[in-house]
Amino acid sequence: MKKFTQTAKTLLPALAAVALAGCQSKQPSEMEKQTLPPAPVAKIIPKELTAHGHTRIDNYYWLNNREDTAVINYLKAENEYLDAVMAPTAALQEKLFNEMKGRIKEQDESVPYFLRGYHYITRYEQGGEYPIYTRKKGTPEAPEEVMLNVNEMAKGYAYYQVGGLKISDDNRLLAYGADTVSRRIYTLYFKDLQTSETLKDVIANTTGNMAWAADNKTVFYSRQDLQTLRSFQIWKHVIGTNPQEDQLIYEEKDETFSVGVYRSKSDKYLFIYSSSTLTTEARFLDAAQPNGKFTVFLPREHGHEYSIDHAGNKFYIRTNWQAENFRIMEAEEKAVGNKQAWKELIPHRTDVFVESFDVFKDYLVIEERKEGLIRLRIRPWANPAAEYYVDFGEPTYTAGLSSNPEFNTTILRYGYTSLTTPNSTYEYDMATQTKKLLKQQEVLGGFKSEAYQSERLYATTRDGVQVPISIVYKKGFKKDGKAPLLLYAYGSYGYSTDAYFSSNRLSLLDRGFAFAIAHIRGGQEMGRQWYENGKLLKKKNTFYDFIDCGKYLIAEKYTSPEHLYANGGSAGGLLMGAVANMAPELFKGIVADVPFVDVVTTMLDDSIPLTTSEYDEWGNPNDKTYYDYMLSYSPYDNVEKKAYPHLLVTTGLHDSQVQYWEPAKWVAKLRATKTDNNLLLLKTNMEAGHSGASGRFAPLKEVALEYAFYLYLEGIKE
């Protein structure tokens, strides 16, 4: 592990040189030399937006209407322009698509997991876009029962996604959700697995989240507000009854909270889980008494986050009560509602963040994060002093608890991957401390992990903080500043971006690119404080960290401004927009996927999906302090008359998380304002939402487009 130890002060001369280099002329690539067709020009219709006595003029507010023919025509014109500009890369895109598809084992299946007498398997057939969900009774060698063949179900749909599969306790009924629009609005269906009949019980406008009671006929499910898309209600349905007569069990009145429902590991309890960014509250009900009333486990207290499970005759709680990095506690069933009666199992530590936990008859397993890396801690109930950690043996990696539905077992299943190691599933015997590789993602096409090298670096930022960077490249990579490098980050909501394997990424690495993940503040890689220092009125630390990581990689000769590219999506797309405004000279090109770029306008409009639940992350701009701070970094509001890097921006017409008009408005304003002749492209998937196309292979065409954008800017045509 290489650790960067220079102070911010000693790094300043190098960073100054970087800034100067970014201002120097760059050699144009073949793409930059081509004669471009005229770009679409969005009409200007000024709209005044006033808050706190301050007025902004939004010339492209009119794009906020997907029912307007003029809006659709504009989006289509942008797509046609992109197709024309990227036409020279058509052969390259096709080659990339076939390359990436060719690495996927088409005839494949998951490792079975065992639950209530059945082995459950997800498999794919040759050429199939979608999964086939199956099970086998008793042993893996038993005859296969096909529960759902999503390939058949998806016929006739441009988009199709199945989610939330749940089996009744008697193993007979399957409940599942289907989304055919990509707005994360699911219709619930029920299938009798004995007769293969799909029941008449059909429930529209749900989140896809559900849980069975123990009576094999009662289902609790969550429903969302169709305007804001907030999951705000829990309903109860009894199989065989009219869904119109379903009973409302709980409604979350606070617009900053969302709700869901799940079953405990013991199967004894049902939980309704109500949460905002910083606060949670759980309710529970005996699963054998579905007509009973849910009881509050612990009343909500602002800033108190807790999650609970149940096994044996106790509740287990992950909580940040008097523990910023969380701790694990247990409670007797009679201790509900009284924190003082909880017993501490895993204490709080300032240098270790508790991610999650799982409980078994003889063991407690804790997923922890220290120095940015996941560790699995095994603690025997009978002898806590004999606890130990699972050894993974790589400098940068991703690990995590997998599906472990069985309580009375010594076998732990976990997942593992790294920048050079394909996704792997292990079984670990906690009694003998031995592990067995059950399955590793098979990468076709001659892939050899030893041909690639990964490193863990640390960049010292302008305020003296060391930010980890995970980087991978093909061996033989020269650190002379001439190599292309793609820098990725997210940095919001406390979501930690771990080092993970991507077979698609090999198409860049094999063409000389390095790929790096900047573990910037706003995530929780380095503990809860890492998140706290990258949100609300400290959000700019996220942007500064990314910029300083880029400068560090340039100073250390991994790349140069002529060859540095950046990518991020959603809140990571906000990051892309911010750094494009703050340090455009640092990057040759940027790809912003479904970017959240119109921060102020969106956060002021509580009718837009998911806005109110975001206040604890970004702040509430109805408060002038937050309004002013958001306005100071909002990418759309800070577009200036200056040169920008080459930009490719993607969105989906049905996006439920970041509405399509944000990136569309941003591109329109950039095109009217920026002073350079660099590429500015907008790709709108007219049939999908936030996650893009559905299926195994269709999304590869979107990846191929983005990779072709980077490669052609580098002058790489094949």
Which amino acid makes up residue 391? D
Q: What is the rounded distance in angstroms from the CA atom of residue 562 to the CA atom of residue 550?
A: 12
- The helix/strand/coil state of 155 is coil
**Tokens of residue 683, six digits:** 């790709």
**Rounded Cα–Cα distance for residues 617 and 459 (Å):** 25
Q: Is 682 helix (H, G, I), strand (E, B) or coil?
A: strand
DSSP secondary structure string for all residues of 60-110: TGGG--TT-HHHHHHHHHHHHHHHHHTGGGHHHHHHHHHHHHHTB-SSEEP
CA torsion sign for 95, 96, 100, 106 is: negative
Q: What span, in angstroms and rounded, lies between the C-alpha atoms of 450 and 458?
A: 24
| CA-CA-CA-CA torsion sign (293, 299, 303, 306) | negative
Exposure string over 500-533, b if 16+ CB within 10 A, otherwise e: bbbbbbbbbbebbbbbbbbbbbbbbbbbbebbeb
b/e for 574-592, b at 16 or more Cβ within 10 A?
bbbbbbbbbbbbbbbbbbb
| Sign of the dihedral defined by the CA atoms of residues 84, 80, 675, 643, in that order | negative
Q: How far, in Å, CA of 257 to CA of 232, rounded?
A: 8
Contacts with 664 (C-beta within 8 Å, 6 or more apart), sequence order: 42, 60, 63, 74, 75, 78, 651, 682, 684
Residue 275, token pair as written in the block? 């949460």
Question: Residue 410: CB partners within 8 Å, gap ≥ 6?
Answer: 360, 362, 363, 429, 430, 431
The H or E element spanning position 545 is helix 540-555
**Residues assigned a catalytic role:** 570, 655, 690
